[in-house]
A and B are shown apart, each in its own frame.
Chain A
Amino acid sequence: MMNVLLWMAAILLILMILIGGDKGKRSFIAIFLNFGVIFFTIFIMTIPKVDPIILTLIASTVISCINLFYINEVNNKTITAFISTIITVVILLLFILIVTESAMIQGFGAEEAEELSVFSLYIGVDFTKIAASVIIMSTIGAITDTAIAISSPMREMFHHYPSISRKELFAFGISIGKDILGTSTNTLFFAFFGGYLALLIWFKDLSYTLEEIVNSKIFSAEIITIFCAGIGVALIIPITAWINSYFLIKQRVKNKIINKDT
């Protein structure tokens, strides 16, 4: 029981309940549900016949359900955030798939060779598609976060000014998005910087030249992950703003017709 992870998980749980109350508890459970989803996905990925891309789409759907519907609740704003997330993930996944295939950043790099020597590498799964899946999965948390962060104030705005035009509503969504763009990208950048610290020290210690670093598989994979994460967080902004303005205005038109009828 004297395990670091257990201790830290317990501290996190206590803090979340103390500060967040019931919602804090749900947030904590959501983390473990997400962990379960990732783990289950990995397990199915080991079956060569299953396409990792389709699996990733399913996993992203489940994860966004947990992040949006479980932590918050099922309502109009989480539903539009959900639709926006799925659209963004599909677009981003297509882009990432093209990138991983042409840049050949799948699997493991020469720097990991020693560690890999004990394993059989011919295991029949498609590492190119898995590489694309890794990039999407690293960004999915940030994508759902941005979606809900735009969707919720847009709904508030519509609520306070029901006569607002679709164009104005869209512009409002974009302006909210712009405000959070900087901090969301920062969150991801630093998370990746922290993760890649050992690699950076390694490159410097073994005096790799700049051209060797830039062209190496591991560095390319990591820098491409950072860029794709940034693209994902930016892309969700106009998509969420558009989906929300579309649905809110449509809803108003519908309500008007109902009002006229009665």
Chain B
Amino acid sequence: MKVIVNLFKKMTYKQIVWYTIILLFFVSSVFFVYHNHSFYERPIVEVIEIELGDSTEMIDMHENKDRLYTQQIVAEIKNGDHKGKLIHLTNEYSISGAYDQEYHIGNELFVSIDTKKKESTDLIGTIMDVKRDKYILLVAWVFIFTLLFVGKKQGLFSIISLAVNAVLLSYALDVYLNTSGISLLWICSISVILFTVISLLLVNGFNEKTYAAIVATLLGTFVSLFITYLVMWITAEKGLRYEEMQFLTRPYREVFMAGLFIGSLGAVMDVAITMSSSIFGLYEKDHNIPVKALKASGMEIGKDIMGTMTNILFFAYISGSIPMLILYLKNNSPLIFTLSMNLSLEMARALAGGIGIVMTIPIGLYTTIFFVNRKRAR
């Protein structure tokens, strides 16, 4: 108790206000997401009773063994005209759960109610999907609390930067979809400039370091995009398997290039800001430091970060394909076919990002030195 009291005594008035506001947001949003059923048009039910039916052993044509179960579910409808009534549902699921799911008491599901059979008092329906909004919200709060707890002000800026960039991306896509005849790449180029300026200003504030980093980021990203274009043009895009690109409603090449463009931006920004901060740091310690020394130190720093930065992109891109690769392999698809189908685009993205990262090291170095010299001249 004493510890807690002391903790409160230590906090300033401003801090207490902040914590209270965040706590209020947290409590009210969690309360809302657990009681928002009436806002949904689709019927939502809560599972209250489960009876496990038969199970059957499954062996598919590739000798994979699995087990299928049937659940008889009784659930309570939480919204709409039938609110409060019970509904009977049937669920079939497998142990592996690639496309199905075992349900537990307390789960909330979207269902469609079968209105044809009205002779019995209980309703019958089919399960459509799971209500996932509350889980997203809870994970989002864990994310927010972790970042605020560890990073304080910088954590807050990261959260703001994520939110602003997400909204900006969504808006840019709206503009693209609603205007005919405008290329996605153009939209993305403009967005990339905005993303860079906003993120770097949020991360690093208004100063010379940031301006140098912005210039270096933009140069680095466009150079890497240009190299990628050149390679694709020379090789006639041989080896890229667009067939397996998912969720396509638009020309595939444009979507792929735009994704590649935005995807490497974060890493390039990271390299640019690291280069400019450290070189400006050296200059601020000793205003008479020769350009040669700056170059040598800059290259050393660049060497240190390029491997890990390329790795970050590499893992972020490749990992997403793991479930699909397993599915292919378990269905006896030939190895080379599986890899080239599922990984060619991800590899191209990771490599393009890597080229961007490495190119940004000298670009960032010379841009920062230019800014340093300009400051010196003044």
Among candidates A4, A63, A123, residue contacting B237 with C-beta atoms closer than 8 Å: A4
A122, B96: Cβ atoms under 8 Å? yes
B311, A220: Cβ atoms under 8 Å? no
Complex Cα distance, B128 from A194, in Å, reads 29
Complex Cα distance, B299 from A255, in Å, reads 35
Please report the number of residue pairs spanning A and B whose Cβ atoms sit closer than 8 angstroms. 410
With A15-B355, A197-B258: A45-B322 Cβ-Cβ less than 8 Å: yes
In the bound complex, residues from chain B placing their C-beta under 8 Å from that of A35 are: 314, 318
Task: Please tell me the size bucket of the interface on B.
Answer: 35 or more
- Name the distance in Å between B293's Cβ and chain A's nearest Cβ: 18
A124, B66: Cβ atoms under 8 Å? yes
The residues in B between 110 and 140 inclusive whose CB is less than 8 angstroms from any CB of A are: 110, 129-133, 135-136, 139-140
In the bound complex, residues from chain A placing their C-beta under 8 Å from that of B68 are: 122
Chain B 211-249 interface mask (CB, 8 Å, partner A; 1/0): 000000000000000011001101111111000111111
With A21-B303, A122-B58: A131-B40 Cβ-Cβ less than 8 Å: no
B158, A182: Cβ atoms under 8 Å? yes
B308, A193: Cβ atoms under 8 Å? no
Complex Cα distance, B89 from A143, in Å, reads 43
* Chain A contact residues: helix, strand, loop or mixed: helix
A199, B323: Cβ atoms under 8 Å? no
Interface size on A, residues (CB 8 A): 118
Nearest A residue to B351 by beta-carbon distance?
Answer: A8
In the bound complex, residues from chain A placing their C-beta under 8 Å from that of B135 are: 99, 102-103, 220, 224
A5, B351: Cβ atoms under 8 Å? yes
Among candidates A111, A121, A140, residue contacting B327 with C-beta atoms closer than 8 Å: A121
Q: Is B255 an interface residue (CB 8 A)?
A: yes
Q: Is B264 an interface residue (CB 8 A)?
A: yes
B269, A8: Cβ atoms under 8 Å? no
With A12-B355, A122-B64, A178-B154: A227-B143 Cβ-Cβ less than 8 Å: yes
Complex Cα distance, B229 from A13, in Å, reads 18
Chain B 330-369 interface mask (CB, 8 Å, partner A; 1/0): 1100000000000010011101111100110110000000
In the bound complex, residues from chain A placing their C-beta under 8 Å from that of B158 are: 181-182, 185-186, 230
In the bound complex, residues from chain A placing their C-beta under 8 Å from that of B62 are: 120, 123
A to B CB contacts below 8 Å, 7 in the list: A5-B240, A12-B354, A135-B319, A202-B249, A224-B139, A230-B147, A235-B150
Report A's interface with B, CB cutoff 8 A: 2-9, 11-12, 15-16, 19-21, 23-24, 26-28, 30-31, 34-35, 38, 42-43, 45-46, 48, 63, 67, 71, 95, 99, 102-108, 110-113, 115-116, 119-128, 130-131, 133-135, 137-142, 144-145, 148, 174, 177-179, 181-195, 197-202, 204-206, 211, 214-217, 220, 223-224, 226-231, 234-235, 237-238
